[in-house]
Structure 1
Amino acid sequence: MSSSVLSPEATSLTCITCHLRTPADHCRRGFGICYAQKYEKCMRLRIYFQNTLQLSYMVCQRFCRNLTYNFNNRTYIHKCCNDNFCNFRT
């Protein structure tokens, strides 16, 4: 009658969180991990100015999709992935 049940942490996609990461140093705000919920993937947003990385932002993101756009002379690149810690890799 005993059944093996895995905890959400064991079955969920695990992503890195960082709400402010600059190229020169480590995460300045919000470093940790999140467990993707239904319809979420790992996401990394990178913001470039004149082809130079200014900062990045990493979270679990609902309905994530890859997207690149330009706004106010900056390029915003959203990358979504579906492997543990994939949003932390370069």
Structure 2
Amino acid sequence: MNKHFLFLFPLCCLIVAVTSLRCITCHLRTRTDRCRRGFGACTAQKDEACMLLKIYQGNTLQISYMVCQKLCRDMTFDIGNRTYVHTCCNHNYCNFQL
């Protein structure tokens, strides 16, 4: 019995170690909190994180976009009268929160 446990324990640890990060996808989420295009989930690959892009006009959220993103970085920038807030996170489905 102990020999079986010693064999299975490293195998279980390996399975947990390779479990991939899962993220929500939505290519067009509106202010009404509804995904209109591309709703689903993606599995992050090497060097990817869950990404959420929120686009504001003034102080009002207009749309958001969620995907698995390679080399993701948190940043905020303004173009015209719109503000783009790009956030990244590394736990399952973390990019779904607005």
TM-score by length of 2: 0.81
Q: Give the gaps of 5 or more residues in structure 2.
A: 1-6
Aligned residues: 88
CA RMSD of the aligned region, Å? 1.9
Decide which of 46, 61, 75 is 2:69's aligned counterpart.
61
Q: Which moved more, 1:21-30 or 1:46-55?
A: 21-30
Moved more, 59-68 or 20-29: 20-29
| Larger radius of gyration between Structure 1 and Structure 2 | 2
Distance between the aligned counterparts of 1:76 and 1:54, measured in 2?
10
1:31 maps to what in 2?
A: 39
Q: Which amino acid aligns with 2:83?
A: T
Residue of structure 1 equivalent to 2:3: none
Q: What are the ranges of 5 or more consecutive residues in structure 1 without an aligned counterpart?
A: none
1:72 aligns with 2:76: no
Matches of 1:38 and 1:25 in 2, distance apart? Answer: 30
1: distance between equivalents of 2:91 and 2:68? 12
Q: Which structure features the higher share of helix residues?
A: 2
Q: Residues of 1 paired with 2:64 and 2:88: CA distance?
A: 13
Q: Match for 1:58: what amino acid?
A: M
| 1:46 paired residue among 35, 44, 54 | 54
Could you list the structure 1 runs, at least 4 aligned residues long, displaced by more than 3 angstroms after superposition.
Answer: 1-6
Q: Give the TM-score normalised by structure 1.
A: 0.88
SS of the aligned residue for 1:43 comes to strand
| Letter matched to residue 61 of structure 2 | L
Percent identical pairs in the alignment equals 61
